[in-house]
Every structure is written in C-alpha cells, then in structure tokens.
C-alpha cells in the first residue's frame, strides 16, 4: 500500500513538472505582448503615443488610457509625455517621456480640430538636443487623436514661435507637416520635398514603428517614393528595418478618396504558397501613406487578386 502511495506521489510530481516545462517552452502570451500590456487594467483603452526610444528617436508605441473624449484624452497623453508624472508606470520598457519635469497645463482648448495648449514655464527647461523632438513628440501624439488636426503651443500665455535654445522659428499652427526625426539629403535648396517613411525597430522582443522624415530633392510622387524607400537595401539605419522585399515591384496604384489600391508582383508575399503578407509590411506602407497623403485604407492586390486590406483609424 505504501509503495502504491509513493508511486502515485512520484507520478503526480512528474506530471506537474512536465506541465510546467511545457508552459515554459510554449508560453501562452509572447513577451512582446507582455511588454505593452503588463500595466493595463480591464477598463483601459489603448492609445497611440510618440515617445523617445533608446536610440533617441521619436517613436510610435501605445499606452493604456481611460478617456475617450478627445480633449480629456489629449490631457492624459500630455501627462504621459511628461517626465516623472503619475503615468510613468504605463510607459513601455525602452521608451521615455520628454516634456520637462514639473510642467503643468495652464489651460487647454479644442475647437474645430485645433488644440490650444498653454504650458507652465517649466516647459522651456528642455535641452538643445531634444527641443525639436519635444515639439514632434507632442504634435504627433496629439494628432493621433480623433478630432485633432492641428496644435498651437503657448507658454504662460505667450505663443511659442521659436525653439527655446536654438531660436529656430516655429509655425504658429503645428501639424505633421513639421516632420519628425528629420534627415537631409539635398543637392539644392530649390525644389525640396519631404516624405515621412515608417520603419520597424525593436527593443528586446517588442517591435514598434519609427517615422523618419526625409528631406531631399526627389520629385517623384509620394507613393513611388514610399515603396522605393521601404524596399531599398541597405535599410536607412542598422537599428531601423523594413520587411518589404527588394524585388517587390509596385505595378500600379489607384487612389479613391482616402483609400488606395496597390498592385504588386508576387514578391510582396512573405510566403508564396500561403499568399501571406507580413503585418510589418502592411503597417509600414499604410502608416507612411497616412502621413503623406492622408490615406487610411490600403488594399493589397497581387496578379489582379485582392489579397488583403488594412484600415487605420485615429484614436476614438
């Protein structure tokens, strides 16, 4: 009887160890998902935000938010963007806030798509290195919100018309046309164009998107520039990636209001047999088209067959 009981205990213990081993080898939730959702509560929404990553790029990630009203959501994102605020715990690993510590919102108003924010004087306590990124981070984060198209920034009642340190002039009304993480490749100061391209970056197992605004003399149309840039090799920087294959050819496209049909050859596929298009390919294309042409839907077509469709919505 004792031998049977001992054998039963050994069997149960062995099974338990086997189950633990299986769960360890095949986790039910991948680590990248955990990085983004570990602090979320059941009532949280997920909102896009542009924070500084470990390479000092203004990068797109997401955070939990509680508000759905556009004005209140704007206030909540500004809090998250502020260093050492009460929402710092929700910032994903590998990212950091940029608005100077102790900055307060004196007033905030939203009317007809224009958000006016008046910050306290602490807002000006920004380094020369990050002063332009500060503006980019705020503008790109807030214009991710439904109903916000433009932003005006004030400090203690005075409109911010120049950067605090370099004194570089700023437009009074700010939107994504200011660009982000800008690079310059100019042969002439005449006929310059700017195109914002989204790339993939990685922190540990977390993948996210980084926009780069290229300022050059390329006079091609935006659709062709975006596709050519994303399939170019080598990629822009070693820490930025594009998964669009170099032999993927854009054969034709058609823009219908805020939607675009993109026709490619079969090298668009990650897996030819399964006719699979990588999520990273779809999102880098759509995010890039959204910033440059206000495209919110992309239909992917290969050999006259619609394979997939992707729709991008602003934060509700």
Q: pLDDT tens digit string along 223-249?
A: 999 999 999 855 556 689 999 999 999
Same domain, 106 and 228: no
DSSP code, position 145: B
Same domain, 170 and 215: no
- The neighbouring-strand residues paired with 65 are 45
Same domain, 56 and 80: yes
CA 307 to each of CA 37, 194, 245, 281, 304: distance values in angstroms, whole numbers, following the listed order:
30, 30, 17, 13, 9
* Rounded Cα distance, 166 and 309, in Å: 44
| Tens of pLDDT, residues 32-57 | 332 333 344 555 789 999 999 999 99
Question: Is the peptide bond preceding residue 234 cis, with omega within 30 degrees of 0?
Answer: yes
Residues (pLDDT < 50) of the chain are 1-40, 315-316
Q: Which pTM was predicted?
A: 0.84
Report the domain count for the chain.
2
Same domain, 38 and 145: yes
Residue 43, pLDDT score? 59
Same domain, 172 and 198: no
Residue 239, pLDDT score? 84
CA 163 to each of CA 69, 96, 134, 138: distance values in angstroms, whole numbers, following the listed order:
30, 21, 10, 14
């Amino acid at each position: 009887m004792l031998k049977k009981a001992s054998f039963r205990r050994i069997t149960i213990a062995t099974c338990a160890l086997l189950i633990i081993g299986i769960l360890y080898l095949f986790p039910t939730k991948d680590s990248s998902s955990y990085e983004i959702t570990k602090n979320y509560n059941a009532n949280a929404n997920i909102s896009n935000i542009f924070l500084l990553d470990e390479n000092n790029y203004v990068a797109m990630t997401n955070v939990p938010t509680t508000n759905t009203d556009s004005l209140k959501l704007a206030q909540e994102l500004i809090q998250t963007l502020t260093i050492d605020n009460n929402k710092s715990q929700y910032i994903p690993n590998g990212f950091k806030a940029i608005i100077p510590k102790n900055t307060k919102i004196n007033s905030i108003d939203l009317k007809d798509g224009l958000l006016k924010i008046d910050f306290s004087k602490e807002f000006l306590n920004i380094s020369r290195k990050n002063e332009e990124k500060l503006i980019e981070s705020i503008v790109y984060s807030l214009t991710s919100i439904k109903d916000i198209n433009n932003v005006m920034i004030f400090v203690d009642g005075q409109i911010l018309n120049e950067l605090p340190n370099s004194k570089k002039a700023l437009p009074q009304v700010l939107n994504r046309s200011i660009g982000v993480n800008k690079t310059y490749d100019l042969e002439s100061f005449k006929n310059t164009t700017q195109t914002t391209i989204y790339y993939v970056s990685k922190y540990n197992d977390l993948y996210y998107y980084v926009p780069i605004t290229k300022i050059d003399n390329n006079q091609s149309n935006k659709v062709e520039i975006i596709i050519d840039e994303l399939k170019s090799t080598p990629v822009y920087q070693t820490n930025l990636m594009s998964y669009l294959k170099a032999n993927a050819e854009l054969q034709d496209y058609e823009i219908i209001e805020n939607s675009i049909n993109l026709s490619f050859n079969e090298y668009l596929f990650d897996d030819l047999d399964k006719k699979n298009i990588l999520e990273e390919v779809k999102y880098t294309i759509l995010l890039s088209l959204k910033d440059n042409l206000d495209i919110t839907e992309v239909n992917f077509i290969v050999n006259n067959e619609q394979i997939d469709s992707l729709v991008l919505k602003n934060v509700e």
